[in-house]
Chains A and B, each alone.
Chain A
């Protein structure tokens, strides 16, 4: 079976700035893959390219075997944007039912999505009156509608309390177990350990693309945040002394450096 996402030599530029620098990666089906990196590292841009709404300079992105953005993917890809994308002047239920109707689903699917994100008690509340975390979950409920094959979730746990974050991650894994592929971005490293695979991105380049265990092993530490820092350091040293790269790129994606 083909990978859910195949990115090859992707270059994205905004103005004169290169945001993604010839990156390549694959995301296996039925997994939770974390896209981690600091703010401004290119996570959202990569997600937009996968959803098919980002103009790319070169390279290719295949999603479920189709070019990103293909019409055939519309019902197969769910996208949660970083900023909540719901109507403040409607209730949570009205929002979910609107998007359900738009995508061709009924009220039952909308109500189920609301329950899945833990907002059943607030279903009748106006979105404008919700907390930031609740708004984000209302937006997530709309992205979950229709049980898409691929879910692109841009920082879905920002602003959520620890209990709810744990519940959401359990939900993500349940979806993956049922066959859904999830690409979840975060800039919080303690969420990395919850993923099946990790793509660590910094300054538009992938510095690690492996399972959490292998990332830890490659960096020689059990702490993922420390591993991320070591990988960055190794990469910077490798760039400073190009002849000494071989030993420091066990997990780094070799195709990143032009």
Chain B
């Protein structure tokens, strides 16, 4: 527990962690509520936001809160994963952390535990901000505020947590593999924001084996899971596989990334 407490203490004092959370909330609110509502309320005559008012109301909270996780929210938690694990390379602190304190695996486990907490906080914050925004819109438009059931909310939070933690673990793995901060963030973002979309938008329609292969990739499975939970059809959100398969694949990636990162860290000379 000492290692987890230490890592948690370090994370909450890092301005970068709070900045990422703030950016996540701003982006989620902007693209899920602000722009659609601005379009709905004052848009050009005849132009209405996709889904209209019902898409912004509390009944759609779960899907709206999860919609960003396959792409931009995923990118932000991937950056967080790189910073939490790879920061030790950036500051050249692994040698101090590991030479005198707990074992490598305990320190790595503590970092993963802290990432799990951070991802849960991020997902809950996105849900809370979305709840506030949708409640305001419902009140402003005198629309019904039908909230999702507690079960649906819990399922949505759990799915969001799984996806976020999977991306964060990928960030940690990239940091350990490349022993740095900048390159893992760069490559991770290229994969998340560019390669995945190129595969889905260009390669998959042309090559059947790419279309089949992408059903095993983390992004399309994340997109499938959030689509199954009500996320609107936005970039990265497409129901390619069922929710059950997507969940299993995502858990597999999460466990795989975590184990591989620990194995490399344990085996390598980090000094």
Residues of A in contact with B (beta carbons under 8 Å apart): 48, 51-53, 55, 71, 74-75, 77-79, 81, 83-90, 94, 97-99, 101-104, 139, 142-143, 145-146, 148
**A48 CA to B93 CA, complexed, in Å:** 15
**A94 CA to B93 CA, complexed, in Å:** 14
- Tell whether, in the assembled complex, residue A102 and residue B102 are in contact, meaning their CB atoms are under 8 Å apart: yes
Residues of A within 8 A of B2 (CB): 101-104
- Tell whether, in the assembled complex, residue B15 and residue A53 are in contact, meaning their CB atoms are under 8 Å apart: no
Enumerate the 7 nearest inter-chain pairs by beta-carbon distance, A residue then B residue, closest first. Answer: A101-B6, A102-B6, A85-B96, A102-B101, A79-B99, A98-B10, A104-B2
Residues of A within 8 A of B93 (CB): 85-87
Residues of B within 8 A of A86 (CB): 91, 93, 96
> Number of B interface residues, CB 8 Å?
25
**A59 CA to B79 CA, complexed, in Å:** 43
Nearest CB of A to B98, in Å: 8
Check B266 for interface membership: any CB of A closer than 8 A.
Answer: no
- Tell whether, in the assembled complex, residue A103 and residue B96 are in contact, meaning their CB atoms are under 8 Å apart: no
Known contacts: A90-B14, A101-B5, A102-B3. The answer to whether A77 contacts B95 by CB under 8 A is no
- Tell whether, in the assembled complex, residue B100 and residue A85 are in contact, meaning their CB atoms are under 8 Å apart: no
Residues of B within 8 A of A83 (CB): 92
Check B13 for interface membership: any CB of A closer than 8 A.
Answer: yes
Nearest CB of A to B175, in Å: 15
Known contacts: A77-B100, A99-B101. The answer to whether A85 contacts B6 by CB under 8 A is no
- Tell whether, in the assembled complex, residue B95 and residue A81 are in contact, meaning their CB atoms are under 8 Å apart: yes
- Tell whether, in the assembled complex, residue B96 and residue A79 are in contact, meaning their CB atoms are under 8 Å apart: yes
**A113 CA to B102 CA, complexed, in Å:** 20
In addition to A79-B99, A102-B107, 13 A-B residue pairs with Cβ atoms within 8 Å of each other are A53-B271, A55-B269, A77-B99, A81-B92, A87-B93, A89-B14, A94-B13, A98-B9, A99-B96, A101-B2, A103-B101, A104-B2, A148-B100
Residues of B within 8 A of A52 (CB): 99
- Tell whether, in the assembled complex, residue B96 and residue A94 are in contact, meaning their CB atoms are under 8 Å apart: no
- Tell whether, in the assembled complex, residue B9 and residue A101 are in contact, meaning their CB atoms are under 8 Å apart: yes
Give the residues from 42 to 62 in chain B that come closer than 8 angstroms, CB to CB, to chain A: none
**A55 CA to B267 CA, complexed, in Å:** 13
Residues of A within 8 A of B13 (CB): 90, 94
